[in-house]
Amino acid sequence: MRLDVDNVSFAYAETSAVRDVSLSINGAGALVALAGPNGSGKSTLLKLIARVASPSRGEVRLDGKRTSDWPAKEYAKRVGYLPQDPDPAFPMRAIDVVVSGRAPFLRRFEFEKDSDYQHAEDALAMCDAVHLADRYLDEMSGGERKRVFLARVLAGSPQLVLLDEPFASLDVAHVQQVSSLLRGIVDRTGATIIFASHDLNWASAYSDRMLVMRDGALARDAAPRDVMREDVVRELFGYDARIVDGWLVPQRETTM
């Protein structure tokens, strides 16, 4: 799998959201963190890669072909996208939600087969969510629903998985669980996962590479150890912090 983003820009009306972003990801089995403060362009960049939005300038290519040239079903087989707030909690069973991720593989008016349900069950297993299969979404916690929707994406066995703020609204214990889960999915399946997060600590903890956005531009593309430095955090985020064993520790301000 090769992803190329070449000089991509996008604006909402007159407001620039992404400015001249270029990057390449070549190969499989990478966990890539897309970090940056709120409003830095992370979500918009994921939407451009996912074909939810189209660049106003530049182009995105998958395996050498412009994303706009891919047939919708073929692109959906290769790229899975999970927005920050995917769906309301409809009273649906988890297994029915997850198997809907097989839709790109079905012909028109075709119903899911036993093999599709097997893919769904395997995806739930990858997300440590087999026990949720017969539970209804509106009976689950936010963390449980996140696992179900992630399994829905994985049911299609995509080569590239795009996740927008998968840690949002999770407590620390669940953030650690989901971080470890993403690392395990990459290592077991060989898929590449790009996930957006404004939390530098969790963005760096399990990732192989960090892309840092600032004001719509790509400000840094580096290994986590080269981002989690006091001078870099000061430069990119504008505040002082200590880095202790690779973790960012904010400094407490003293008042007179």
Domain ranges of the chain: 2-250
pLDDT band at 28 (very low <50, low <70, confident <90, very high): confident
Using an 8 Å Cβ cutoff, are 24 and 5 in contact? yes
The string of pLDDT tens digits covering residues 239-256 is: 788 888 888 887 766 554
pLDDT tens for residues 149-192? Answer: 999 999 999 999 999 999 887 788 888 888 998 999 999 999 99
Which distant-in-sequence residues (6+ apart) come within 8 Å of 14 by Cβ? none
CA 49 to chain centre: 11
3-state secondary structure of 58: strand
Confidence of residue 85 (pLDDT cuts 50, 70, 90): confident
Q: Given pLDDT bands bounded at 50, 70 and 90, which one contains residue 238?
A: confident
Lowest-confidence region among 16-30, 67-81, 175-189, 234-248: 234-248
The pLDDT, as a whole number, for residue 173 is 82
User: CA torsion, points 199, 202, 206, 207, in degrees to nearest 10?
Assistant: 0
210 contact partners, CB below 8 Å, separation of at least 6: 32, 33, 35, 203, 204, 220, 221, 222, 223, 224, 227
Could you report the per-residue pLDDT of 204-215, keeping only the tens digit for each?
Answer: 999 999 999 999
* Residue 87: band (very low, low, confident or very high) from pLDDT cuts 50, 70, 90: low
| pLDDT classification of 89: cutoffs 50, 70, 90 | low
* Cα–Cα dist 255/113, whole Å: 65
Residue percentage of the chain with pLDDT more than 90: 66
Task: Give the CATH number of domain 2-250; options: 3.40.109.10, 1.20.1560.10, 3.40.50.300, 3.50.50.60.
Answer: 3.40.50.300
